[in-house]
Amino acid sequence: MTGKRDLSDLVLRLKIHGGWYDLGSRNLSYLQRFRLVCFVGMLPFILVAFFRAGLIETLNKSAYLSFGAVYVTVKAVSYYLQRDRTRLIVERLVYLIQERRTPYDIQIFDRYSKLAWKSVYLLEVVSAIYVSSYFGFPMIYELGVCLAGTADPGGEPYSFPHPLESLIPKRRSGLYYLIWFLSAVWCWLLLAYAIVSLGFLFVVVTYCCILLRSLAKEIEAFSATPEDGRALGRITLHYQQLLQLSVDMKAVIGPPMAAQNAVGALLLTLLVYNISHNLKGDPMLLMVNVFAWVTMINIIFMSCLTGEMLQAESQKIYESFCDLPYHEMPPKLRKALSFLILLSLKPMVINYKRKLPLNLRFFQEIVDSSYTYFMLLNSLA
């Protein structure tokens, strides 16, 4: 089935981008841990750069990269701490997909898995264009100036701001170009981890929604034969497996998504404030911040929309159980059905310690909070 093959592709991306630690090789596992150490180890340098450049200057010029470094590092640490559950989620999905072999299951897997992977591909393309443009264009310009022989050896190089630029003098030197190159590699790693974590969210939640939809179809078929105890037993087993899968998903996806949305509200505010007040004289920097704002709000919206899909599909399971012919069932099956109705009464919601849920209502709260912060900054300006 398509879903099983796509999960293999997802695991491959997790391995490449650093989100999978069971690699079958001690050296490769050490490499993944080294990436995590690099993420965490760069945070003190970011804080030092904040102090040297000044908070206002840093927020004006490199808020996107600075805040991105914070919440992507939280994601990396969270996935490392939950690495066993990450592997368990994929194994559970593979097992559950193998049991779905009806033509209806195959059809919905082929249809909806393509939508999830199109979102992942779009994220990869947009991120590659952003980082390549942000760091590639200045380097190409500097290389052209050097080859043409018109570069001033001690002059100020052409570049976009980045979080570490305050640590060294901004003039043409080997040290400056080395820091610039390391910053580019670091941003590539950050974006790669951000992409794979969002891809994991899109694919895993989409497949869970497909399994819930398949279960709703199974419940609908059971309504034609309400005396079939074996069919209700299979439904109970499948639903309990999906509930356990949702618990694992909440543990793995909840903390990083909560960090993303909490930081995202503040970041959206700062980007809009910078665009409207501080960047009128620099069109290139204005374009970069507009692109960063559009990218960030789309990422938050897509994440919340994915969580809303899971919540809606799980709510349909409760409605399907309620639509069964309760009075036509034997007493033992009525007890089992009552138990299932109680289990499905609370929808599946991805959150962190019952706060910061991943749904469209919380997306509205993020937008409202950003607007409130923006008006507060305007009043203080």
Supply the pLDDT for residue 163: 62
Residue 56's pLDDT is 58
What pLDDT sits at residue 310? 92
pLDDT of residue 315: 92
Q: Phi and psi dihedrals of 352, rounded to 5?
A: -125, 110
Taking the C-alpha atoms of residue 239 and residue 330, their distance in angstroms, rounded to an integer, is: 21
What whole-number distance in Å separates Cα of residue 367 and Cα of residue 375?
12
d(CA 283, CA 323): 59
pLDDT number for residue 313? 92
Helical H segments across the chain, by residue range: 2-17, 26-53, 55-81, 83-98, 103-131, 137-148, 174-222, 229-273, 283-322, 331-344, 360-380
Structure tokens at 34: 């080294």
- pLDDT score, position 278: 63
Question: For residue 159, what pLDDT is reported?
Answer: 66
Neighbours of 14 (CB within 10 A): 24
CA distances from 290 to 139, 244, 281 (A): 22, 41, 14
Whole domain around residue 152: which residue ranges? 2-380
Neighbour count for residue 368 (Cβ, 10 Å): 11
From residue 220, how far is each of 98, 243, 328, 346, 362 by CA, in Å?
21, 19, 15, 20, 32
Collapsing DSSP states into helix, strand and coil, what is residue 274?
helix
pLDDT number for residue 308? 93
Could you tell me the two tokens for 96?
Answer: 């559950």
Under DSSP, the state recorded for 24 is S
pTM (predicted TM-score): 0.82
Which residue has tokens 């399994």?
A: 211
What is the domain count for the chain? 1
Distance of CA 315 to the CA centre of its chain: 23
Q: Which ranges of the chain have pLDDT less than 70?
A: 1-7, 9-32, 39, 43, 46-71, 149-170, 172, 278-282, 284-285, 381
pLDDT for position 182: 76
